[in-house]
Chain A
Amino acid sequence: EIVLTQSPGTLSLSPGERATLSCRASQSVSSSYLGWYQQKPGQAPRLLIYGASSRATGIPDRFSGSGSGTDFTLTISRLEPDDFAVYYCQQHGSSRTFGGGTKVEIK
């Protein structure tokens, strides 16, 4: 099973700042098979990024994904109040697994 490790566990930032979230896989994952989700309290997750770098429908361009192999990154260029949430990566190259999540909180 591919284990996804997300870091940091919590990111404390102010609106307008840049957020950089990491997702590291225990073995190589094809870029086509890595996605990122946002989840707010009491809500279902929302797909942000698929194929490591493609934005899902309706996702603003301040969200971007990058990476390959075992190291992937989600970047939020300028945090808006609505972006404070928990973010998960998921791979589906070998079965499916989620990372443990990164909470982006207001500093």
Chain B
Amino acid sequence: NAGVTQTPKFRILKIGQSMTLQCAQDMNHNYMYWYRQDPGMGLKLIYYSVGAGITDKGEVPNGYNVSRSTTEYFPLRLELAAPSQTSVYFCASSQTGGTGELFFGEGSRLTVL
């Protein structure tokens, strides 16, 4: 069981470039989330999804887009990368709501120069 898998683990982007962070889970979880974590800070929710075809904004959605065409995959798209998007990005999943328990991937460290 791989759990939540994120790729790439590290990436350097130039300002204005775009890229997609990939996230896959093999636990058949309905809910999936994208968080970002800046150094020494807590996690900020970017987007989340409660099922295939259903996504919604979190705390800091500007500059990002998501899609959820299947239960397994939840990619995060960065358009026109900016230095402010330098961060560690975590994808997470959850079987149901009301448990407070998220399963996190290992993270993708993104630097925008």
- A and B from one complex: no
Residues of B within 8 A of A (CB): none
Instruction: Give the B-binding residues of A (Cβ under 8 A).
Output: none
